[in-house]
Amino acid sequence: MANHKSAIKRIRANEAKRELNKYQHKTARNIIKTIRKSTDKAEASSLLINAISALDKLAKKNVIHKNKASNLKSSLQKHVNALV
């Protein structure tokens, strides 16, 4: 257990940040999943904008690596472009 007041505050702050990161990461994964399951190009295109935004935010905050975000965005864009 932490002995210093600042260490206790740091534990609380880290826990709050972890919860927020987990929520945002899960939300981005759900958007990606719905895009991949989608067969309608218009719906997938509108979801793609949200997915790209979410992935960029996660990469900016180092929740995921920037190259992983880039690879995911690229593969999703290819998928949407291939839809009829």
pTM, entire model: 0.84
Q: Where do the structural domains in the chain lie, given as residue ranges?
A: 5-82
Q: Look at domain 5-82 and name its CATH class.
A: mainly alpha
Residue whose C-alpha is closest to residue 50's, from 69, 31, 72: 31
Q: How far lies 52's CA from each of 49, 57, 82, in Å?
A: 5, 9, 17
pLDDT digits (tens, 9 = 90+) for 34-82: 999 999 999 999 999 999 999 999 999 999 999 999 999 999 999 999 9
